[in-house]
Amino acid sequence: MEHSVAYPIESVGNALRLIHLLQDSDELRVTDAARTLGVAPSTAHRLMTMLVHHGFAEQNARRTYQRGWALRGDRHRAATEDIIDAARLPLVELGRRIGETVHLARLEGTAVVFVDGVESPRRHQVHVASRAGLSMLAHCTAAGKAILAGLQPAELAALYPRGLPHTYGPGPCDLGALQRQLAAIRRLGYSVNDEESERGLIGVGVALRDHAGRPVAAVATGIPILRCPDALIPGIADELTRTARAVEASLAGGASAGVAAGAAGGVAAGPRRLSVL
């Protein structure tokens, strides 16, 4: 039985109805959503875009919508917890090696959510705090771009059917610019955020991949530009890559080998299963 409220907020009600539709359907077209809600397709599209941004919906290669990470339930949460557990010790060791705050992030829609972080063990005059719990636009962050670079072209296009969200920083201004950046990331093996998400901060990121080679998360660091000259970035990227490979080995069941190799100064958990971005 439905109960009405005295002062319904129509847009909120429609968004909640869309969530129920997504839960009950394998995929949903904007025209079908508009018909069910009794609104114009443009209104339904705006509502769906909001749900995509918050992780309740995703657009697939057929340009229809399906349940997003926020509606997929325990499997997604369990997978995130597994990654956090596998990454915790490698993150601590990474922070000690580079002397900077380090982060673990996952892609959720067009945003990255920072699911864990370890603050720098050094007492820097300019301190970078952990971003754990924060959400930022993926295309403006090192962690986000590291993950985006591992997506298939159709997956990337489905995330941004109407182009990139507008930002005021120096990041990519359109999908073409982002695609060029992602191609460079694939060549280099790491991503760089040059003051795109925060003035005065340089970010470096490397993707974590699952057994099938798909990016599932990223390790990253943010360093004040005054103590991060360009010549330092490749070395930082090498340390991030070393950490990413250790986490991948742990997730694949080689945790003890990965930790032992990290203590010895290198990842020696057998041949590299997956290539870095």
Helix ranges (DSSP H) in the chain: 10-24, 30-37, 41-53, 74-98, 142-148, 153-159, 175-188, 233-249, 255-264
Give me the residues paired with residue 107 across strands.
112
Token representation of residue 50 = 């909001």
DSSP 70-122: GGSTHHHHHHHHHHHHHHHHHHHHHHHHH-S-EEEEEEETTEEEEEEEE--SS
Token reading at 122: 């050094």
Return d(Cα 245, Cα 222) in angstroms, integer.
20
Domains of the chain and CATH, by start: 10-71 (1.10.10.10), 74-264 (3.30.450.40)
| Residue 142 confidence (pLDDT) | 96
Which residues are CB-contacts of 231 (< 8 A; sequence separation ≥ 6)? Answer: none
Angstrom CA distances, 165 to 142, 174, 178, 189, 191, stand at 17, 9, 12, 25, 20
User: Residue 69 has what pLDDT?
Assistant: 66
- Write out residues in the chain with pLDDT < 70, as ranges: 1-8, 53, 55, 59-62, 69, 72-78, 168, 254-277
pLDDT number for residue 75:
57
- Count CB-CB contacts under 10 A for residue 63: 13
pLDDT score of 171: 77
